[in-house]
């Protein structure tokens, strides 16, 4: 079993994602129009069209697969299959989470998305949620419901926050461990 995300595999997956995004945009176009999102939810400010998803999502997909491949290839040959499987599991977890958040957001049931956001934030102190496979899964999960532009923008902001919280969490854990070993 090869554990490399070859350029051919990355291209095939990226093309599949682009095809799905394009299909959704065409569907939107012929069924009421492609949605636009206004900055700060104010129609007086510039709008961001979901047509941008056709560029943003495939580029994000390609970059995510490239970064995961590079991270995995730094590992020893024995650890690569495990790391690739874990990256795939993290992607699927984030995809499901993004889909659930989008579904409940669409149904205007905010308690689920609010609670999920708090839980994920708390987990970010212990788990490296800033990894690119989380972002890709989260964005793809939300794309069906609200397009890909806003989830990508907010996902990148969350990645920065999760990076900081994870580093703070690791610092606290390491400080606690070092005090335990000195006693």
Could you read off the pLDDT tens digit of each residue along the chain, which spans 183 residues? 455 788 899 999 999 999 999 999 999 999 999 999 887 778 898 889 999 999 999 999 999 999 999 999 998 888 999 999 999 999 999 999 999 999 998 898 888 778 888 999 999 999 999 999 999 999 999 999 988 998 999 999 999 999 999 999 999 999 988 888 776
pTM: 0.88
Q: In the prediction, which pLDDT does 3 show?
A: 59
Q: How far apart are CA 77 and CA 73, in angstroms?
A: 8
| Length of the chain counted residue by residue | 183
Long-range contacts of 26-35, Cβ-Cβ distance < 8 Å, separation of 24 or more: 35/146, 35/147
Q: How far apart are CA 87 and CA 147, in angstroms?
A: 24
Closest C-alpha among 35, 16, 3, 28 to residue 140: 16
Domain ranges of the chain: 7-182
Q: How far is CA 94 from CA 5, 18, 38, 99, 116, in A?
A: 20, 19, 26, 8, 12
């Amino acid at each position: 079993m090869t554990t490399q995300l070859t350029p051919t595999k990355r291209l095939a997956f990226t093309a599949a994602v682009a095809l799905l995004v394009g299909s959704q945009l065409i569907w939107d176009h012929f069924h009421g129009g492609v949605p636009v999102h206004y900055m700060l939810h104010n129609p007086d400010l510039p709008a961001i069209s979901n047509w941008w998803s056709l560029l943003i999502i495939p580029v994000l997909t390609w970059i995510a697969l490239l970064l995961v491949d590079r991270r995995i290839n730094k590992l020893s040959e024995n650890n690569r299959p495990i790391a690739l499987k874990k990256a795939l599991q993290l992607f699927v977890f984030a995809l499901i989470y993004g889909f659930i958040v989008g579904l409940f957001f669409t149904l205007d049931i905010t308690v689920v998305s609010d609670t999920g956001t708090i839980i994920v934030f708390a987990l970010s102190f212990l788990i490296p949620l800033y990894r690119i496979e989380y972002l890709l899964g989260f964005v793809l999960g939300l794309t069906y419901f609200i397009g890909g532009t806003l989830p990508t923008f907010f996902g990148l902001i969350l990645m920065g926050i999760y990076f900081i919280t994870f580093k703070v969490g690791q610092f606290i854990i390491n400080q606690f461990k070092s005090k335990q070993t000195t006693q």
